Amino acid sequence: MANPFASRAGIVGVGVAIGITATLLQYFGNPPNMGICVACMERDIAGALGLHRAAVVQYLRPEIIGFVIGAFLAALLAKEYRPRGGSAPLVRFFLGVFAMIGALVFLGCPWRALLRLAGGDWNAVTGLAGLATGIGVGVLFLKSGYSLGRAYSQKPATGYLLPVLMAGLFLLLVFRVSFAEGGPLFFSQKGPGSQFAPIWMSLGAGLIVGAIAQRSRFCTMGAIRDVILLRDFHLMSGVAGLLVAAFAMNLILGQFKPGFAGQPIAHTDHLWNFLGMALAGLAFALAGGCPGRQLFLSGEGDLDAGIFALGMIVGAGVSHNFAMASSPAGAAAFGPAGILVGFIFCLAVGFTMRERA
C-alpha cells in the first residue's frame, strides 16, 4: 500500500500539522515560541532527572515521550520496525552532546528556530543562517566520502529499550515519584519549566507528531541537506508548511509579536546565535538527522539514533553545569569555549571518518 505521507502533499500536510500543533501547545500553556522544541524539552527532562540544577528548566516533557512512542507504534503498524545499530555509537553520542551545546547557546533546535521566526522573533534569522551554514559544511564532508559506517541488524527486543524508557518517564511524571528529600524528580516552580500544556494533551500531540513524522521522514536538517546536495525540495516543502502554518496560527491566536529585543527565551547576541546553530547544524549533518528525526528513528528501532538522543540529554546537563547555556541576557561565560571545542570535535570527525581521500 502506498504511503500517503511520502507524497509532496503528504509532507506539506505533516509540516502544517506540526506548525498548528506547536502553536496550540503554546496557547494552552507551553512557553512562548516553544510549543515544540526538541532541544529545550530534552533539556527540561535532563533537569527533571537531576542532570543539571537550573531550577527554571526542569520538567518531564510528554511531547518527547510521545515522539518516540508514536514513531514506534507507527513503525510497527507499517512493518518498518527494524532494530539496527553499531554505526559508531560513541561518536554519535558526542555529536549529540555538542549538538545540544550549540542549540542551547542559540536557545532552541531547528524546529524552535522556525517557530521563533513564525512568532516574530527576528533573532531566529541569524540562527537559521547558522544552521544552514553548519549543514552546508556537513554536506562538503558527505561529498568527500564521510560515513560513520553501516548499522547492523539487532535482536527485536533491543529496539524496545527507548520506548520503554519513555513510558517509564511518563509514569514518573503522572505519579510525581519522589526518590529522596529534595529530589529527584525536580519540577520547576517558575520559568519555562513551570509552563506546560495539560499532560494528556501534550502526550497526544507528541504521539500524533511522532507517528506522522515517522511515516513522512520529516527532517529539517535533511530538508536543507537535500536542497544543497541534490536540489531536491521535497522535505523543504514540509518545513515551509510548518513555518506558514505556525505564522498563520500565531496571527489568529494573537501570539505574533515581531522584533529583536524582549523576545521570550531568546537573546540578541547575533554572533553566538549564528555560531551556536552552525555547530548544531554540523553535528546534525554528521549524525544524519535533526533532533526530532533522531527521536523518530529511535522509535522505529535505530539504536544509533537513540544514542544521539541520549547524548543530547547528557549535553543539556553539561551545558548548564558548565555555564555554557545562554539566557535572555546573552551567551553564558563558557558558551564560546563550548562552541570552539564542539567545532574542533565535529571537524575532526568529519575529516577522519572519510572512506576515501
Task: Look at residue 2 and tell me whether its pLDDT is greater than 90.
Answer: no
Q: For the chain, what are the domain ranges?
A: 4-352
What does the pLDDT look like over 236-294, one tens digit per residue? Answer: 999 999 999 999 999 999 999 999 999 999 999 999 999 999 999 999 999 999 999 99
Q: Is pLDDT at 357 greater than 60 in this prediction?
A: no
**Averaged pLDDT, 323-352:** 98
Give 147-206 pLDDT, tens digit per residue. 999 999 999 999 999 999 999 999 999 999 889 888 899 999 999 999 999 999 999 999
Please classify residue 162 by burial: count the beta carbons closer than 10 Å to its beta carbon, then call 0-12 exposed, 13-18 middle and 19+ buried.
Answer: buried
Which residue in 49, 119, 19, 55 sits closest to 327, CA to CA?
55
State residue 129's pLDDT score. Answer: 98
Encode pLDDT of 133-151 as tens digits: 999 999 999 999 999 999 9
Closest among 277, 54, 41, 288 to 151, alpha carbons compared? 288
How distant is the alpha carbon of residue 143 from its chain centre? Answer: 25
3-state secondary structure string, 73-137? HHHHHCCCCCCEECCCHHHHHHHHHHHHHHHHHHCCCHHHHHHHHHCCECHHHHHHHHHHHHHHH
Instruction: Give me the pLDDT at residue 1, please.
Output: 62
Listed in sequence order, the residues at least 6 apart from 276 whose beta carbon sits closer than 8 Å to its beta carbon are 102, 103, 104, 105, 106, 127, 130, 326, 331, 335, 339
CB 320 within 8 A of CB 53: yes
From residue 355, alpha-carbon distances to 29, 91, 147, 180 in Å are 48, 16, 7, 50
Structure confidence by residue, pLDDT tens digits, 29-81: 999 999 999 999 999 999 999 999 999 999 999 999 999 999 999 999 999 99
Q: What is the pTM of this model?
A: 0.97
Q: In this structure, what C-alpha cell is assigned to residue 146? A: 564521510
Contact call for residues 309 and 71 (beta carbons, < 8 A): no
* 87-101 mean pLDDT: 98
